[in-house]
Chain A
Amino acid sequence: MAESKPITKNVDWMVVLIYIACLGIGWVNIYAAVYNPETHSSIFDLSNNAGKQLMWIGTTFILIICILVIDYKFYETFSFIIYAIVIFLLVVVLFAGSNINGSRSWIKFGAISLQPAQFANLAVSLAISKYLSDPAISLSRKFKDYYPILGIIALPSVLILLSNETGSMLVFASFAIILYREGMPGFIPSIGIVSAMLLIISLLYNSWYISGVIILIAGIAIWAMPVMTRRRGGLIATVLVATVMISIVFGVDFFMNHVLQKHQRGRIMVLLDPDSDPRGIGWNVIQSKIAIGSGGFSGKGFLQGTQTKFDFVPEQSTDFIFCTVGEEHGFIGTAIVVTLFVLLISRLVILAERQRSRFARVYGYCVAGIFFFHFLVNVGMTIGLMPVIGIPLPFFSYGGSSLWSFSVLLFIFLKIDAQRPFTLSRG
């Protein structure tokens, strides 16, 4: 029987090693971020974030053991119940949550504060996997099969938005990856990417100019296309696409100037041109880039960072932990971290593909997608390629809730993967 085999034999050790490497590097950098050159506080000192993070790492190992011990079928069987519990917690937090940093999204159990929004990823991943495990469901043919998925995502999204945690909600965009893998037509993500590019262009240039260019390109396309294609609707399709693109351009303009609040507009504009507001919103981005840039090729050395020491970069040990890596360990350090992440998510995709059950595969992709999105946005914002959105870097950023939720997310998949030899293929 499966239960008699030691888990250590089947668990994917490559992922585990990357995980441990990330935790270790993260912890050391949290220490460097909070290190005070005057007081020489110890890395084990529980009064600073590094000491606390060690405590969180310890509790995480206990959690991991629990996950590995629990029967793998538990997660599939109870996925909707787990989803319901998390939704319940998200509702509770709206009414009984403690207010930390302007968002009512924390539940306090004695000395420990938890953020249910961090566990929404897990709940949504399980629920989507469970729903898609039904072989009758096809994302490539039946459009109505999308509705339950949209519902599963929309419910926690609204609750998270209400508790003012926009960053956590944006992570749900990562589920586009699994939908694509499970049959969503390729043009949908293409449209998403083209729209995103259009969005950035329309922020940078005058709407009328862009429209002119779009019309020009459409005209050339119609002129160049074969007569048959043109007669068979190619003309209409091109005009339609061009019209939609132009309306996006003007829509963005309207949205920026009439819908968004000033600080939200600022966050987006700073992404395009951080120097436009160096003393306000651009401050974070500029300081973060200075910190990383000043690291040079090999860095200033452990605990030698100056930018990150004197509180130049805000949220040092949490959202901007990547700056510390960049400043103290230079390009070598940042390249290692980037490589670790790409390896981790690619390995997760490979693991997901070798699953026999659709549930396991979908779940594996969800996990990979979530890690990827966090990596994309968090690292992107510190190097000025993404807007400043407050989401953590998995396994690196200080914080108990996020460490727990990422570890649980990962190890549930590793547990399911470890049982793979004993599951039957279903679809």
Chain B
Amino acid sequence: MLENRRFVIIGFFALIGIIYLFRLFYLQVLDESYSIESSSNSIKRVTEIPFRGQIYDRNGKLIVYNTPVYDLLVTPYKVKVDDTLRFCKVLGIERREFDSLIHVASVYSKMKPSLFLRQLSKEDFASIQDIMVDYSGFEFAKSSMRTYKAATLANTLGYVSEISKKQLEEQEEPYYRQSDYIGQTGIERIYENELRGKRGTKFVMQNVNGVYKGAWKNGELDTMAVAGENLYSGIDLEIQQYADSLMMNKVGSVVAIEPKTGQILSMASAPTYDPNILATRHFSKNYTALYRNPYKPLFNRPVMASYRPGSTFKLIQALIGLQEGVITPNSGFTHANCPIGCHVHPATPNVVMGVMHSCNPYFYNVFRRIIYNNKITNTFKASAVGLDDWHDKISKFGIGQQLGIDLPSERKGNLPDKKYYDKIYGENRWKFSNIYSLSIGEGEILITPLKMANVAAIIANRGYYYTPHVIHGIGEGRKLKPEFAVRHESGVAPQHFEPVIEGMLGAVEGGTARRSRVEGISIAGKTGTSQNKRGKDHSIFIAFAPVDDPKIAIAVFVENAGSGGSAAAPIANLIIEKYLTGKVTNKALEERIMHADLMKDVILPAPPKPVIKDTTKRRNSIPFVREKPTEQSSKKVINWFKI
């Protein structure tokens, strides 16, 4: 009967009770491993933070590594400082700071150690280690600091800093804890999971006074910290620094790519700063200064700044025109009947001359033929269909979309299509005559320096590209991310590239970029002059070399520096020469470019605070950025907190 089920139920309850009693008896009485010899000993978990992975350049030179430093931790309830003044003197802090630091630590927890002072150098540690023994409640923890061999690549590498409250809360799986470091931007952020390594844990026993009493269970449960994976980049540190020196006192970007692989050789964003200044404990102070700087040194221009491509865009127009068959290599156009002006130059009876002299009417006509290359008679409808066709073909060059480089915040730029103009003018209310500025890379089209460097790489490869990437090897196996091994086609057949490349060669030899040609190297290039609302034109140049076996494709953007031939072309050609031959022959040009100050013409955006308006002082705010921070960190302990 059902009443009898009560015995089953009570029996079940009793059974569980007995099982638990046996388990407790085993845990508490039989199993010796839990009963630590002295009842006052306790087990403490010590976390070992592994070294972050290092980053190498293409020649095996270290770019980023770690310097061991020491953090000073305090456990408030254990603190016994008889002579506070002497203690403060040893640490080089003031009494007031001592009190506030202790207070902050106590608020966090009286029982648990928390950070007192961060990143003491090895020398500082050595000098105070002995003295600190006299003060209970303080302990040192090994830590490490990101260190940069050369003061370059700041924006590409990004920086590492203490995890923010928001990041702490938003992490998908709980890994980070308060005061952990995390890669915030650039490579440090994109490859955070590879770089951070694996934390280790040690269980140690200690007595009531916190004195170490050996490993618990002989270290059976301990796990070793595993250092993060090293990253191998395609960056050539020497070229990178050379690019930086050429971009000194200019605002803009240099992006150099190895066309055959898509590896980034150099990526300069100017003005820049020494990445070491964001690795020290003075992070917040230095960051604020960078953040407030009107030239926005934290803005990673190669992937984030949008410009009109100007005449460099004519290359793509010519390629599409040839591929579509609307022109042949021998098509010629004159200046007649063209609404766009041009400069004085020899006749342009073919594509080669059109590219070489960057003839505006020539490409007006090419673009006109591309747009009207359909059977629709209504010019409005024909333009709409033609533009969308054109849009698809241009997209294959990576314009108007993210290329997928391994850097955060890559901008798409803008590649207008039918929808875009419908929104501005209304459907069927615009036609070729409204959009012809696109033919010469002006108007609504926007690109980033990275995209133009990629276009140079496509032309160098005669039709294909690999997604540009900074890191081509992860870890010991030098694993390449699969997406960087995918060959992308531009949709233009290889033979159509030849006349365009010949024109680019001509542009460097005797056309718009002739002033910066390099003896002995065949460089194919194209200047661009990007109109903008904020003053003088931006100077643009894209190129690749050598023409027959391209080893480098490059894009240089210099803001408000005038025509492409004046600033961008010389910088690009100097870098190409340096990369291919290891030296520079035209020392006079090098000297002139390095010392050219093109910042005076840069129109700054309205500053957020009126304080910065004083234009005479503008220059002075930048030099601090180039300060050598290594000197800072080697300063005496006495000073380091006050900096």
Contact = CB atoms under 8 A, between A and B. Distances in A.
Interface of A: 36, 38, 140, 177, 180-183, 262-263, 275, 278-280, 283, 286-287, 289-290, 292-297, 300, 304, 306-307, 309-312, 326, 330-331, 334-335, 338-339, 341-342, 345-346, 349-350, 353, 365, 372, 376, 379-380, 383, 385
Contact of B24 (A262, A263, A275, A334): A334
Given A296-B28, A353-B6, A380-B20, A346 B43 contact: no
A178 to B, nearest CB: 9
Contact of B199 (A279, A296, A342, A376): A279
B24 A338 contact: yes
B21 A338 contact: yes
B201 A307 contact: no
Contacts of B8: 180
Contact of A342 (B2, B14, B24, B29): B14
Contacts of B3: 353
Interface in B34-53: 34-36, 39-43, 45, 47
B285 interface: no
Contacts of B603: none
Tell me the interface secondary structure of chain A in the complex: helix
Nearest to A274: B221
Contacts of A300: 39
Contact of B41 (A286, A306, A331): A306
A293 B43 CA distance: 12
Interface in B452-474: none
11 contacts: A177-B9, A292-B34, A294-B39, A295-B28, A297-B28, A300-B39, A307-B43, A330-B28, A331-B24, A349-B13, A372-B16
A292 B19 CA distance: 16
Q: Which 9 interchain pairs have the tightest Cβ spacing? A: A293-B34, A342-B17, A279-B201, A306-B42, A331-B28, A278-B221, A293-B27, A334-B24, A38-B77
Contacts of A372: 13, 16
A354 B473 CA distance: 76
A262 B173 contact: yes
Contacts of B342: none
B2 A36 contact: no
Given A310-B111, A330-B28, 19 more contacts: A180-B8, A181-B6, A275-B220, A292-B34, A293-B28, A293-B33, A294-B39, A306-B208, A310-B42, A310-B112, A326-B27, A334-B24, A338-B24, A342-B16, A349-B9, A350-B6, A350-B10, A365-B9, A385-B20
Contacts of A342: 13-14, 16-17
Contacts of A183: 2
Nearest to B109: A311
Nearest to A383: B23
Contacts of B111: 36, 309-311
B193 to A, nearest CB: 14
Nearest to A301: B39
A181 B5 contact: yes
Contacts of B20: 338, 379-380, 383, 385
A180 B35 contact: no
A383 B16 CA distance: 13
A292 B2 CA distance: 40
A383 B26 CA distance: 10
Nearest to A178: B9
B6 A278 contact: no
Contact of B31 (A263, A278, A293, A335): A293
Contacts of B364: none
A303 to B, nearest CB: 13
A315 to B, nearest CB: 16
B42 A312 contact: yes
Nearest to A281: B174
A383 B5 contact: no
B18 to A, nearest CB: 9
Given A275-B221, A278-B201, A292 B24 contact: yes
Contacts of B425: none
A330 B77 CA distance: 28
